Chain A
Amino acid sequence: GAVVSQHPSWVICKSGTSVKIECRSLDFQATTMFWYRQFPKQSLMLMATSNEGSKATYEQGVEKDKFLINHASLTLSTLTVTSAHPEDSSFYICSARDLRSGGYEQYFGPGTRLTVT
């Protein structure tokens, strides 16, 4: 199967600090990865699309200077929340498309719970 991992699974940080979240496709290559955010009792909202070797595409309303995305290889994308504030506390989930299946299906990581104090 297609497995996506995220690290860390949870993180608590102080307001004003930066936090990096990693998303890895473990057994497949993914030219495209996606970052989602989920607030309590809300649906997942797409934040940005991460393309290997190029700049990420951000959804409307998502600050690209605050949420830095780097997709350095076919198996790794990172999301850095810069100068985090309590309102950034959320559940961040990444997904990746498996090229072997034609890229039809997205596989999701287990998520990262971010709490900013």
Chain B
Amino acid sequence: KQEVTQIPAALSVPEGENLVLNCSFTDSAIYNLQWFRQDPGKGLTSLLLIQSSQREQTSGRLNASLDKSSGRSTLYIAASQPGDSATYLCAPRGYSGGGADGLTFGKGTHLIIQP
């Protein structure tokens, strides 16, 4: 069964800093991996999706990398802003399983960007 760990669990930094959020997963046989952000009491917003054949994806100030063989992904946030404050979740998608390839989530990294 896939298990996802995200480090750090929480992070508070002043705005302007560059950040790295880490995600590790136990089963490297994944189809793809998505990064999401979740605002308090809200649903999920998809940030980036990396296919298993890709090594990284970029969108604006966000860059996600994937090392499938070692079961790791990182989300890099450049020039952080207060609006980036949220919980960031990574979710690998498996090929099969009891959930017919639903996503497995970590507990997330709770990020606070101080103005």
Interface residues of chain A, those whose CB is within 8 Å of chain B, are 4, 6, 32, 34, 36, 41-46, 48-49, 51, 57-60, 91, 93, 95, 104-111, 113
Given A58-B98, A104-B51, 19 extra CB contacts under 8 A: A4-B43, A34-B103, A42-B107, A43-B106, A43-B107, A44-B105, A49-B100, A49-B101, A57-B98, A59-B99, A95-B103, A104-B31, A104-B49, A105-B46, A106-B34, A106-B103, A107-B46, A108-B43, A109-B43
CA distance A11 to B10 in the complex (A): 30
CA distance A73 to B96 in the complex (A): 24
CA distance A34 to B102 in the complex (A): 7
B36 CB-CB contact with A under 8 Å:
yes
Among B32, B51, B102, B107, chain A packs the most CB atoms within 10 A around the CB of B102
Q: Which residues of A contact B51 (CB under 8 A)?
A: 104
B105 touches A57 (CB 8 A): no
Q: Which residues of B contact A43 (CB under 8 A)?
A: 4, 89, 105-108
Partner of A110, one of B36, B43, B98, B100: B43
Partner of B41, one of A6, A60, A113: A113
Interface residues of B, count at CB 8 A: 26
Partner of B104, one of A32, A46, A108: A46
Q: Which residues of B contact A57 (CB under 8 A)?
A: 98-100
Q: Which residues of B contact A105 (CB under 8 A)?
A: 34, 46, 49
**Which residues from 56 to 115 on chain B have a C-beta closer than 8 Å to any C-beta of chain A?**
89, 93, 98-108
CB distance from A71 to the nearest CB of B (A): 12
B99 touches A46 (CB 8 A): yes
Residue contacts A-B, CB under 8 angstroms, 29 given: A6-B43, A34-B99, A34-B103, A36-B105, A41-B107, A43-B89, A43-B107, A43-B108, A44-B103, A44-B105, A46-B102, A46-B103, A46-B104, A48-B99, A49-B99, A59-B99, A60-B98, A93-B44, A104-B32, A104-B49, A104-B51, A105-B46, A106-B103, A108-B36, A108-B43, A109-B43, A110-B42, A111-B42, A111-B43
